[in-house]
Amino acid sequence: MSCAVLSSVVHALRFQEVEAGTSFRAGCAEHYPHTFSHREWMRCFGMLDRTGLTLPFYARLLATGDCGSFPPQTIAAFEQRRRDNKNRMESMLGTFGQAVTALQQAFVQFVCVKGFSLFPEFAEEPWQRHQIDFDFLVAPGHGLRAQAALEKLGYKLTAVARDDERRLRIPASRALSRDAYLYQPQEGGAIELHSSFWESGDEKHSLSCPEGVFQQAEIHALGPVMFPRLSQPQAFVYQVLHVFRHFLASWARPLWLYEIASYLNRHCANGALWQRVDELISANEQIAKATALVLLVAQELFACPLPSALWHHCDLPARSPIVLWVERYARRWVLTDMPGNKLNLLLLRHFIPDDREWHRYLVGRLAPGSHRPQLCEGIDPSMARSLAYRSANLRYQVSRIWHHLQTNAGVAIESVAWNRHLQSSQNAFRAMKQSRGEL
């Protein structure tokens, strides 16, 4: 479910003014953020926090000096979140530094991806970004060594995916509810060890990704912590594919698209950077299609500029399914509360051409039954046996069943309109070709 406050915040976070009717289709351009009451803000803060846009929006307010146009209580709520997340991120940076040191001492070849590696290119300051875990891309054959090094710090293996992604965390003594305050200090720590630049997951959607990741890594410093991270061209492609990965599998946090838009806006004039990015993207047709989708969605929401070197990937025909989906469904898919909806299924057939693979994937998305979802992965065993946790976990599982029933019905209804849009576009294109005598 979306809300007017979220749409208004996204509108306010745009990087360029756009002509009326070309990009901003939310229908709420007249509702500027300062026109909402404090009560309306408080009602939507939870959803805004989960999207990750609360603090980037507050950073924009501070930069533009517009705080005075908001109710003082609302600004106080923003400021409380800024202070709390600043403390949270400082504490997490210390925990992150311990993990980096452990991996280095164990001679694990790794680079940090996402998270702390994004500052200051994708986000200016750590307080502006809420995160939950740390992500490391480890060299082939180094996964078990990395796991052993982290286990010495108290981390426990909680899951190993089919593509060998390993998830670890220091056991938590409590499970946070969906509506929990996100900026309180993190209990323990959570780490994901990624085995490859692109993880196909259950969809087995293979992509040929950049080589030389570890050879081209750069050493980066954030506060007192020094760590290896991806080169900037590879980091940008990684962020794009991270969004696409969630487009294939689940809800995508609007924050990730905003960070990509912010990066595009900040570095648009760096021709050498984008030439290298273009080389990485052009090496694989599926990566090029995924990039076009993500960049067009980012532009649709945040009106970010597109570098000239990447424009040919996004300059698609008006009849393209990607263009049609971005125009009609992108905002509705992105601007929703977690766990989101399934409107992305309308377009995914375009990315999975094999009939058998598509059928298997579709069944898995509409009726996922391979395992029961858990409220908290890595919960302390004694806590997991408690009546309070088991009751909360049962409520969570029931809510997931209800979510699938609702979203399945919604996408079934929308599929009728979507197929009509595709057919109409194809008919219009065929008529144009006939009028030109090309058929």
Query: What CATH number does the domain containing 35 carry?
Result: 3.30.460.40
pLDDT recorded at residue 17? 59
Residues 351-381 have pLDDT tens digits of: 988 888 888 888 888 888 656 677 677 677 7
- pLDDT for residue 388 is more than 90: no
- The pLDDT of 3-24, averaged and rounded, is 74
22-36, 59-73, 167-181 — which is least confidently predicted?
22-36
Two tokens, residue 35 = 């026109």
Tell me which DSSP letter residue 179 carries: T
Which is more confident, 437 or 75? 75
Q: Which amino acid is at 162?
A: R
Residues 130-164 have pLDDT tens digits of: 999 999 999 999 999 999 999 999 999 998 887 78
Q: Long-range contacts for 138-141 (Cβ within 8 Å, ≥24 apart)?
A: 138/108, 138/109, 138/110, 138/193, 138/194, 138/195, 139/108, 139/109, 139/110, 139/214, 140/195, 140/196
Two tokens, residue 427 = 């008919």
Q: Which amino acid is at 70?
A: F
In Å, what is the CA distance from 287 to each residue of 238, 240, 352? Answer: 11, 9, 13
Domains contained in the chain, number: 1
Q: How sure is the predictor about 428, in pLDDT bands with cuts at 50, 70 and 90?
A: low
- Residues with Cβ within 8 Å of 430's Cβ and at least 6 positions away in sequence, in order, are 439
Q: Of 223, 219, 241, 259, which is closest to residue 118 (Cα–Cα)?
A: 259
Residues 292-307 have pLDDT tens digits of: 999 999 999 999 999 9
Which is more confident, 257 or 385? 257
**Can you tell me the distance from the alpha carbon of 89 to that of 147, in angstroms, rounded to the nearest whole number?**
23
Cβ atoms 148, 160 nearer than 8 A: no
Instruction: Give Rg (Cα) of the chain.
Output: 22
pLDDT recorded at residue 435? 63
pLDDT recorded at residue 163? 77
pLDDT recorded at residue 186? 86
Residues 229-288 have pLDDT tens digits of: 999 999 999 999 999 999 987 789 999 999 999 999 999 999 999 999 999 999 888 899
Q: In angstroms, how far is the first alpha carbon of the chain from the final one? A: 45
- pLDDT for residue 387 is more than 60: yes
CB neighbour class for 215 (10 Å; exposed up to 12, middle 13-18, buried from 19): exposed
**Can you tell me the distance from the alpha carbon of 253 to that of 335, in angstroms, rounded to the nearest whole number?**
9
Q: Which amino acid is at 405?
A: L
Residues 167-180 have pLDDT tens digits of: 999 987 776 677 78
- pLDDT for residue 22 is more than 80: no
DSSP string, 75-86: HHHHHHHHHHHH
Could you tell me how far CA 225 lies from the centroid of its own chain? 25
User: Is the CA virtual torsion 120, 125, 130, 131 positive or negative?
Assistant: positive
Cβ atoms 259, 123 nearer than 8 A: yes
Q: How sure is the predictor about 202, in pLDDT bands with cuts at 50, 70 and 90?
A: low
Helix axis angle, 38-51 to 72-105, nearest 10°: 10
Q: Of 329, 366, 364, 369, which is closest to residue 346 (Cα–Cα)?
A: 329
Backbone φ and ψ of 190, nearest 5°? -135, 140
Q: Of 188, 187, 176, 184, which is closest to residue 87 (Cα–Cα)?
A: 184
pLDDT recorded at residue 31? 67
Domain that residue 88 falls in: 4-435
Q: Of 47, 40, 28, which is closest to residue 70 (Cα–Cα)?
A: 40
Two tokens, residue 400 = 């997931």
Q: Of 343, 346, 261, which is closest to residue 300 (Cα–Cα)?
A: 261
- pLDDT for residue 4 is more than 60: yes
**Can you tell me the distance from the alpha carbon of 436 to that of 361, in angstroms, rounded to the nearest whole number?**
40
Greatest mean pLDDT among 28-32, 185-189, 194-198 lies in 194-198
